[in-house]
A and B are shown apart, each in its own frame.
Chain A
Amino acid sequence: MQFTANTDAQRAAMLEAIQVSSVDELFADIPAGLAVDRLDLPPGRSENEVFDRLHAVSRSNASLTCFLGGGFYDHFIPAAVDALAARGEFATAYTPYQPEAAQGTLQAIFEYQSAICRLTGMEVANASLYDGGTALYEAAMMAIRITGRSRILLDSGVNPIYRNMLYCYTSNLSIDFEEIDVAHGQTDRDSVRRALTDETAAVILQNPNFFGAVDDLTDVVDVAHERGCLAVVSAYPVSLGLLKPPGAMGADIVTGEGQSLGIPLSFGGPYLGFMATRLKHVRKMPGRLAGMTEDVNGKRGFVLTLQAREQHIRREKAVSNICSNESLCALRAVVYLSLLGRQGFRELALTCARKAEYAKSRLAGIDGVEVKKSAPTFNEFTLELPGDAADVVARMIDKGFAAGFPLGRYYPGMENYLLVAITERRTREEIGMYAEALESVL
């Protein structure tokens, strides 16, 4: 889809056609106090000047070896992902406005949705949402719509960034949240059972949880269902190459951050929220949905389906105000998954897990460092350090490492704990150098 700018003459013709004297007049309904008079922007610069400026800014990037995760991971991205995603035909963040004219885009979205279903073990996935946190918020709202209840139980092992997003998005709504502290790094079954009431819409869980702990949440899901409550699981997609998928645990809604599937870290975005559910809940699911069908001649074709849920039809009663998606990021994800294939994806997950186990054993040998072992982990684990982890992280930057996530930032009392992530990109040498650097800064 091309972007073609309008000329002044075309603008004038359009204004005349609708009998409006100026573009400003179209914004006359905005109260004066809310309208922006002017943007305080510096004068324009030449392309050459802009290039020099951005180049100078980019030089201040630190090139660190990444042991930092917390929901976003430094995975290798095959060149084919960039090559295919950069094709002009795909260069839009939106599902098309004249969808059926864009069969290739719809097919890519459909294949992405199918891949997400297979990864999560669920029946239907949407065309994507903005990021993992937004997806989790949408899942909470969806559970509230389905159950007609307004209480949400939130496991404290759910990514604290996502939890903050949930609180932010819902701050003007009447939703009661209750956080359930983890017990020995895992979902506390007894606390969940005690906190569940007949008003609970959903229990929100994460696997592996923020501390890296891997869990089979089937029993927690069962307990939720006994009270007529839904189970929402946020999952790390790469882990699903190896771990039991949330669908097999009985989850009703599965969400997650798709950044690990071929999308660069890029200092925080754009990322990719995925969401999948059971077919019986599809009409309560937000987001766009590509479907496969047959035309009058019996030929395969792709459409945007179940649009009656969306705001251009349902207006203020739409199941969500999100009708756009992260098409380009979703495309990267499906290209990435297709390149790896079922076997390759499994090997990727296995490599991450094995390297993490190696790192755990290497780091456990450092005096004063304790690897937390209360639960099995996938590619991320928690270290207890002899001092403040945030200070250690600062000192490790000078050694060339993004050393991990200091848990004290979101978990009071855990100031000495560091969350360390290992991906397939980390070599034995890098892990060795990391261990030596860590030993030297303690």
Chain B
Amino acid sequence: MQNPEDLKYTKQHEWVRVEGDTAVVGITDHAQEELGDITYLELPEDGKSVKQGDELAVIESVKAASDIYAPIGGTVLEANRTLADAPETINTDPYGKGWICKLSNAASGDLEALMSAAEYTTYAEGLK
């Protein structure tokens, strides 16, 4: 799967899509592939405020449990509650229906530290 060009990426394999003032956050195709079948997500409460790099959510798969870190600072506007019943959506559609939460404050300078799709693709290739 191609890493979409319009997203920004972290070394911990999260992605961010800026939509106006809002930043949508998810995990990358590489991350879902490494985790295997995803079984559970512990989603953040609405209104939770995080700094860049803070723990945002917890993801469990049949193989592992990992933290998802906030790619940028902000306040949680909404979490993708449909994942509670269908966490496997992250496996099938990591950049679309498998989004994890939306953060406010998308104009944040935190975005500048993140990788482009090309940079992330090279980075993820290097981990294999």
Contact = CB atoms under 8 A, between A and B. Distances in A.
Interface string A311-331: 001100100000000000000
Contacts of B60: 308
B64 A283 contact: no
Contacts of A283: 40, 42
A313 B39 CA distance: 14
Chain B: number of interface residues, binned into ranges? under 10
Contacts of B64: 308, 313
A309 B60 CA distance: 9
Contacts of B39: 308
B67 interface: yes
B56 to A, nearest CB: 14
Contacts of B67: 317
A422 to B, nearest CB: 47
Contacts of A308: 39-40, 60-61, 64-65
Interface in B3-53: 39-40, 42
Interface residues of A, number: 6
Contacts of B65: 308-309, 313-314, 317
A283 B64 CA distance: 14
Interface in A284-323: 308-309, 313-314, 317
| Most chain B Cβ neighbours within 10 Å, of A308, A309, A317 | A308
| Most chain A Cβ neighbours within 10 Å, of B40, B60, B64 | B60
Interface in A307-359: 308-309, 313-314, 317
A283 B42 CA distance: 9
A313 B64 CA distance: 6
B51 to A, nearest CB: 17
A349 to B, nearest CB: 39
A78 B42 CA distance: 45
Nearest to B62: A308
A309 B64 CA distance: 10
Contacts of A317: 65, 67
B126 to A, nearest CB: 24
Nearest to A314: B65
A142 to B, nearest CB: 15
Nearest to A307: B65
A309 B65 CA distance: 8
Nearest to B59: A308
Interface string B62-104: 0011010000000000000000000000000000000000000
Interface string A173-185: 0000000000000
A313 B60 CA distance: 10
Nearest to B61: A308
A327 B21 CA distance: 54
B52 to A, nearest CB: 20
Contacts of B42: 283
A422 B89 CA distance: 58
Contacts of A314: 65
A314 B65 CA distance: 6
A89 B67 CA distance: 38
A317 B67 CA distance: 10
A317 B64 CA distance: 12
A308 B63 CA distance: 8
A308 B62 CA distance: 8
B114 to A, nearest CB: 25
A144 B60 CA distance: 21
Contacts of B40: 283, 308
B46 to A, nearest CB: 14
14 contacts: A283-B40, A283-B42, A308-B39, A308-B40, A308-B60, A308-B61, A308-B64, A308-B65, A309-B65, A313-B64, A313-B65, A314-B65, A317-B65, A317-B67
**Interface pairs A-B: 7 shortest CB-CB:** A308-B65, A308-B60, A314-B65, A313-B65, A313-B64, A283-B40, A283-B42
Given A308-B40, A308-B61, A317-B65, 10 more contacts: A283-B40, A283-B42, A308-B60, A308-B64, A308-B65, A309-B65, A313-B64, A313-B65, A314-B65, A317-B67
Interface of B: 39-40, 42, 60-61, 64-65, 67
